[in-house]
Amino acid sequence: MSRFARFRMRASQTWARLRTNPYVERYEQVRRRNEDPELDDVPDEVEEEFADADEVEPPDPEGVPHGVKVAAGWSWRALVIAAAVVGVLYLASILSFVVIPILVSLLLAAMLQPLVALLVKAHVPRSIAAAIVLIAGIAAVAGVLTLVINQFVANIDTLVDSVQKGLLNLQDWAKYGPLHLEQKQINNFFSEFQTVITDWLSDNQSILAGTAVESLGIVFNILTGAFLVLFTTFFFMRDGRRIWTFLVRMLPERAHEPLLHAGFASWRTLVSFVRATILVAFIDAVGIGAWLMFLDIELAIPLAALVFLGAFIPIIGATVSGIVAVLVALVGDDWVTALLVLAGVIVVQQVEGHLLQPLLMGRAVSVHPLAIVLAVAAGVVLAGPIGALIAVPIVAVLNNGIKALRAHAHPPDETPGNVAA
């Protein structure tokens, strides 16, 4: 058989296989019916399939393109969401005297709740267990504050002498260093600086007097807020689950199970976050405090306590407390010691960022560093230091709570677009 004959035979076989393809047959049936309308051998489902494929969306009688409609729909929805967020923030600012103590109480309850659970497992009544843990926590905080304040008071004279010594060193550097200033110029600078301060105090006596009166009100508000924090923390530790269940039961029945699941997932996230933050802060304080004591820096223990408190504000808190330690070393000793302190602070922060945070935080509370920085900045703008403290826990809780809601709404085997489904 010639090569051309074999090619014709293969071509005919291929065409025969194509003709037996059901899609080709359906296409031929529809084509024949279009050519001869009297033929009625095309199934209705085949006709509907091809009719839907060729159907074109009718033009809008108003002349508005479809893309503009979609953009407008997303725009007004985004505006509604933004208005809702602004409304919530505005309401929270009005009720800040209540909202901030509640948020702080949630952090404290997340920190102390594991101890309450241990006592309850030991057959201690929950109310008594919550009271014991709360009193022990207050005693621990009071003891730490007393230690730090005593250390600060005991070394205040040394610190003042160090500041005076640092100012004299600064004057010598300005006089004999690259600036080559005369003593008269240096004296004029300090005298002008003192004059500016004195004039400001004399011009603002009424403001300072009013500020003193307002300070009494601020102290009263702080004491009231502290009492509210203690009272709320006690009930969060004792009745936290029942409180959340009661709030969820006020919503429509379809939302009960998803919100209960999301709430418990968010609470576990908050507990994990607080535990990891305390451990990281303790390691930072011990590391930097030991380095400061090794370098014989004044106020090493208060500075270590400052590092511990600053570590509760991720990224920014540790940086600010480290800068304070470097400045104290620069004023109290010399620039070489300050550089050594700076090196120690950088090493500890690198260990924290690359080892402690990923190891202790884990995926349960993982938040992108950019989100952390933006959350802390927004918290500082909205609520000052308290906002910086609670911003990251709020972001972590919302992140995992929304994930839990989505997982509950779309289980892994029913998730839209899942190939396995």
Domain ranges of the chain: 7-47, 99-250, 253-414
Per DSSP, the residues of 372-404 read HHHHHHHHHHHHHHHHHHHHHHHHHHHHHHHHH
Query: What is the C-alpha radius of gyration for the chain, rounded to an integer number of angstroms?
Result: 35
Distances (CA, A) of 405 to 77, 104, 250: 21, 25, 18
pLDDT beyond 50 at 283: yes
Q: Which of 50, 15, 45, 53 is nearest to 31 (CA)?
A: 50
Residue 413, Cβ neighbours under 10 Å: how many? 8
d(CA 399, CA 293): 40
Residue whose structure tokens are 């923390």? 233
Q: Which of 408, 390, 112 is nearest to 240 (CA)?
A: 112
pLDDT, average across residues 38-62 = 51
d(CA 414, CA 407): 10
Q: What is the pTM of this model?
A: 0.64
pLDDT tens-place string over residues 372-416: 778 878 888 877 777 877 888 888 888 888 888 887 765 555 444
Residue 315, Cβ neighbours under 10 Å: how many? 17
- In degrees and rounded to multiples of 5, residue 334 shows phi and psi of -150, 180
Residue 328 in contact with residue 303, Cβ under 8 Å?
yes
d(CA 418, CA 420): 5
pLDDT, average across residues 41-48 = 50
Per-residue confidence (pLDDT) for residue 421, from 0 to 100: 32
Per DSSP, helices labelled H in 155-255 are 156-176, 183-203, 205-249
pLDDT, average across residues 177-204 = 69
H/E segment holding residue 21: none
Q: Which of 360, 356, 358, 392 is nearest to 375 (CA)?
A: 392
pLDDT, average across residues 208-214 = 54
pLDDT tens-place string over residues 215-234: 666 677 778 888 888 889 99
d(CA 121, CA 99): 32
Per-residue confidence (pLDDT) for residue 364, from 0 to 100: 54
pLDDT tens-place string over residues 56-108: 455 556 667 878 888 888 999 999 999 998 898 888 888 878 888 888 888 88
The proportion of the chain whose per-residue pLDDT surpasses 90, expressed as a percent, equals 3
> Percentage helix, strand, coil, to 5, in the chain?
85, 0, 15
Per-residue confidence (pLDDT) for residue 79, from 0 to 100: 93
Per-residue confidence (pLDDT) for residue 256, from 0 to 100: 83
pLDDT, average across residues 234-257 = 86
Residue 41, amino acid:
D
Per-residue confidence (pLDDT) for residue 420, from 0 to 100: 31
pLDDT tens-place string over residues 139-181: 887 887 787 677 767 766 666 666 666 667 767 766 776 666 6
pLDDT tens-place string over residues 326-384: 877 777 667 788 888 888 888 887 787 677 766 666 655 667 777 777 887 888 887 77
pLDDT, average across residues 28-47 = 57
Q: Buried b vs exposed e over 187-203: b needs ≥16 C-beta within 10 Å?
A: eeeeeeeeeeeeeeeee
Q: Which of 311, 344, 353 is nearest to 325 (CA)?
A: 344
Where does the pLDDT of residue 132 fall: very low under 50, low under 70, confident under 90, or very high at 90 and above?
A: very high
Per-residue confidence (pLDDT) for residue 418, from 0 to 100: 39
Q: Buried b vs exposed e over 64-90: b needs ≥16 C-beta within 10 Å?
A: eeeeeeeeeeeeeeeeeeeeeeeeeee
